[in-house]
Amino acid sequence: MTKPHLTIVIPSYKEAANMPLLLEQIHSALGDYPYDVLVIDDNSPDGTAETVRSLAEKYPVSVTVRKDKRGLASAVVDGFKLAGGDIVAVMDADLQHPPAVLPRLVRAIEAGADLAVASRYVPGGSVGNWSATRRVISRGAVILSHLLLPSTRGIKDPMSGYFMLRKDVISGIELSPVGYKILLEVICLGCPHQAVEVPFIFENRRAGVTKLSMVTQTDYLRHLLSLMRRTGEFRRIVKFVTVGGTGTLVNLGLLAVLKEWAGLHYLVAGAVAFEVSVVWNFLLNDRFTFRDRKRPDGTLPGRLLRFNVTSLGGFIIYIAILALLTQVFGLYYIVSAAIGILIGFGWNFMVNSAWTWR
């Protein structure tokens, strides 16, 4: 049986000094596996393209030069369009992504995965000698993506720039990354059926300097928002808030009815009204907000119980913040309540999204 052809897409900007060793290492890592390398260069002034062309005598490599510098992610998207292989890999040019990992990625794909991520965050992987600050930022970015983009939850390193996929994962899909986290786009829009992670250690840059700056952090937040819109996660939050609004009306209405007409003590009426509104919210969220997210092992009573526990937690958070901000920080109680409601809602959404409906 012939092995499926592999195309390695490498975005590059000012990486001339890295190309000879990079291509040599790729070649010796892959042995006789059928592959080609596609360098997408943004008209680097250091002669990256010329260097690659001169190496084309030795290795199966070609270079596409784009005249207007459009950035890392769009280079990868262009590379996807040009890639001829049934399997496509993406890696950096600066040898921070060790080519020795390529065979393990290939094996994962051969074993049935349609996406294989070279991962810094599974056992055996690491970020190397990053500063504490960069570690924290990177971890925070992953947590944020897990919270806001549920389809990334199965992947410990959704920000990796080193991965391999079957071409059909991305065929027919419109990728338009805002920042440079192209893998996020692939996971959220490509919907891979079987994604696996292969550990690797993020090496030091071989030569040249990083092109990414602080701008990439705000780019990342914009990218998250844009993906939330495109995957419907944003609409989910709007639905959740709308349901919460109707639940509040049910809560207040029932409180009045139970107290005024049924003559219950207002605290008893309040507790009953609260619980009824929780069930009300649950049923609407189960039917509308999270319809597509029923865990296979879940049952309606099980979800209701989780929703109840979460809501109670949200209520306690609300009361705690109301008391804290008013008593300790001297805020006007309505302001404290508004902040408490906001945080309580955030808690409810996150926990229910990650636990109740997962």
- Which residues would be at the binding site for Mn ion (CB under 5 A)? 92, 94, 96
User: Least distance from C-beta 207 to Mn ion, angstroms?
Assistant: 11
User: Least distance from C-beta 70 to ligand GDD, angstroms?
Assistant: 7
User: What values do phi and psi take at 27, rounded to 5?
Assistant: -65, -45
When the beta carbons of 92 and 219 are compared against Mn ion, the nearer one is 92
180 binds, among ligand GDD, Mn ion, none (CB under 5 to 8 A by kind): ligand GDD
125 binds, among Mn ion, ligand GDD, none (CB under 5 to 8 A by kind): none
Which residue type occupies 281?
N
Structural contact between residues 246 and 283, judged by C-beta atoms closer than 8 angstroms: no
Structural contact between residues 163 and 92, judged by C-beta atoms closer than 8 angstroms: no
Looking at residue 295, the DSSP 8-state letter turns out to be -
- Which residues would be at the binding site for ligand GDD (CB under 6 A)? 11-13, 15, 40-42, 69, 71-72, 75, 92-94, 96, 159, 161, 180-181, 210-212
User: Least distance from C-beta 118 to ligand GDD, angstroms?
Assistant: 10
User: Least distance from C-beta 125 to Mn ion, angstroms?
Assistant: 16
Give me the helix-helix angle, 215-231 and 182-190, nearest 10°: 10
**323 Cα distance to chain centroid:** 35
Q: Torsion over CA of 161, 167, 173 and 178, rounded to 10 degrees?
A: 10
Residue with smallest beta-carbon separation from ligand GDD: 161
User: What values do phi and psi take at 265, rounded to 5?
Assistant: -60, 140
When the beta carbons of 130 and 345 are compared against Mn ion, the nearer one is 130
CA 1 – CA 234 distance, rounded (Å): 46
When the beta carbons of 48 and 352 are compared against Mn ion, the nearer one is 48
When the beta carbons of 92 and 185 are compared against Mn ion, the nearer one is 92
When the beta carbons of 137 and 147 are compared against ligand GDD, the nearer one is 137
Looking at residue 159, the DSSP 8-state letter turns out to be T
